[in-house]
Amino acid sequence: MATVPVRSLLRAQSFGIANASSASVSTLRALSLISPAYRRGLVTANHIKSQTSWCNKTYINPITSRCSRSQRAAYSTNSTTPPHTEETDDTMADSEPTGLIAKKGIELLTFSTPNGYKASILLEELKEAYGLEYTWQSVNIMKNTQKEPWFTAICPNGRIPAIVDHDRGDFAVFEGIAILSYLARHYDPDHKLSFPVDSDDYSVSEQWMGWQHGGLGPMQGQANHMFKFAKEPNPYGAQRYVGESERLYGVLDARLSGRDFVAGPGKGKFSIADISMIGWAAMCEFSGVDLKMFPNVKAWIDRCLARPAVKRGFVIPNDAAPFLNGPYLEKLEKDPEARQKFDEERKYLQESKEKYGYKYSSP
């Protein structure tokens, strides 16, 4: 029997498909690509369930789906130029990437993960601030595309995101934090999203980016695995990593007390420091973290998500909405099955904490 990735099953539930028997394997695999179109009203759940062949043949991405120009314009409230041309859509429709496709500008290789969104958000911010054009390709990590030789020649670690700067001798950069620093250094001359390298604010920004890279990202990533995706229950791992994620959000909450953003003078300014961690923070409820514990973090997330470029970054290459805190919690109010599952997960987490004597403390 063919297997279906866990993420595809989760997306299936968001479409009202309760279990694998309710739809074909091929339909479930297609859900990770078509969810943006569904959420924007371009297709319906019934269409997804009944038109399996359509799912198999059509690649829909959130900005450049095969629809009319008016539909594309309606999708983007900011009328931004789609990062792919229609010709690129056609060549990408039925296959995974097999190499680079651009000849100039920045080429982003990414997928829909908290780390992947770092790069797409900054690129959208730079596009808005300076008109920077870039190309992106979706590298499906569920198919291990990132392990293919053409990709590991760009990123030896076989992880997304990665970029290639075709205007600077096809220079390649991998690791999310390195990408943020590189793009800011070369494409943010007015420091609209960063700080002068000889300033204290630059050091502060660097410190918090390091904190995310070495702490928040790895711990919340492990929380996702132990709490959501472990092959068998692991109560110690669940409480350990969700608990450590909570501790780290306590640190961030304290930092944001009286501040709008993580780094910068006064109350701070939106910068690559915020971009480095917003992908994780905007999905922390999915990881088992109760955002009500951290009001300053919640207010900061709302400020970040109010930015048009951040919104656009969160749909490249696929819409993050099903996993963002707001939509994720809103779904619980409308879907009794989702609410029941959520309550069972939180009960399991609480019992795991009690079993091993976990008590929240930060820092």
Domain closes at, from 78, 113, 130? 78
Q: Residue 96: pLDDT band by 50, 70, 90 thresholds?
A: confident
| Per-residue pLDDT tens over the stretch 296-341 | 999 999 999 999 999 999 999 999 999 999 999 999 999 999 999 9
Assigned domain for 324 exists: yes
Assigned domain for 360 exists: no
In whole angstroms, what separates CA 252 from the centre of its chain? 19
351 and 279, same domain (yes or no): yes
Assigned domain for 83 exists: no
Assigned domain for 89 exists: no
Q: Does position 75 have pLDDT exceeding 90, yes or no?
A: no
Domain closes at, from 178, 193, 208? 193
| pTM of the predicted structure, to 2 decimals | 0.77
213 and 343, same domain (yes or no): yes
Assigned domain for 363 exists: no
182 and 233, same domain (yes or no): no
pLDDT of residue 17: 32
Q: Which long-range contacts (CB under 8 A, 24 or more apart) does 54-60 make?
A: 55/26, 55/27, 55/30, 55/31, 56/26, 56/30, 57/93, 57/94, 58/34, 58/93, 59/33, 59/89, 59/92, 59/93, 59/94, 60/33, 60/34, 60/36
pLDDT of residue 240: 98
* Residue 349 identity: L
pLDDT of residue 93: 30
Q: Summarize the confidence of residues 78-84 as an average pLDDT.
A: 33
What are the C-alpha distances in Å from 53 to residues 5, 47, 58, 61, 171? 19, 11, 9, 17, 40
Assigned domain for 175 exists: yes
| Per-residue pLDDT tens over the stretch 199-241 | 999 999 999 999 999 999 999 999 999 999 999 999 999 999 9
pLDDT of residue 28: 38
258 and 135, same domain (yes or no): no
User: Whole domain around residue 34: which residue ranges?
Assistant: 1-78
Domain closes at, from 49, 78, 107? 78
266 and 215, same domain (yes or no): yes
Higher-scoring residue by pLDDT: 67, 31? 31
152 and 296, same domain (yes or no): no
230 and 128, same domain (yes or no): no
* Residue 197 identity: V
Q: Residue 42: pLDDT band by 50, 70, 90 thresholds?
A: very low
Burial class (CB in 10 A: 0-12, 13-18, 19+), 271: buried
Assigned domain for 304 exists: yes
pLDDT of residue 80: 31
Assigned domain for 331 exists: yes
What are the C-alpha distances in Å from 301 to residues 249, 283, 305, 350? 12, 10, 6, 25
Number of domains in the chain: 3
348 and 248, same domain (yes or no): yes
Query: What CATH number is given to the structural domain containing 186?
Result: 3.40.30.10
209 and 333, same domain (yes or no): yes
308 and 173, same domain (yes or no): no
Q: What is the mean pLDDT of the chain?
A: 81
Q: Which of 11, 37, 40 is nearest to 23 (CA)?
A: 11
218 and 182, same domain (yes or no): no
The whole-angstrom separation of Cα 362 and Cα 269 is 25
Query: What CATH number is given to the structural domain containing 298?
Result: 1.20.1050.10
242 and 290, same domain (yes or no): yes
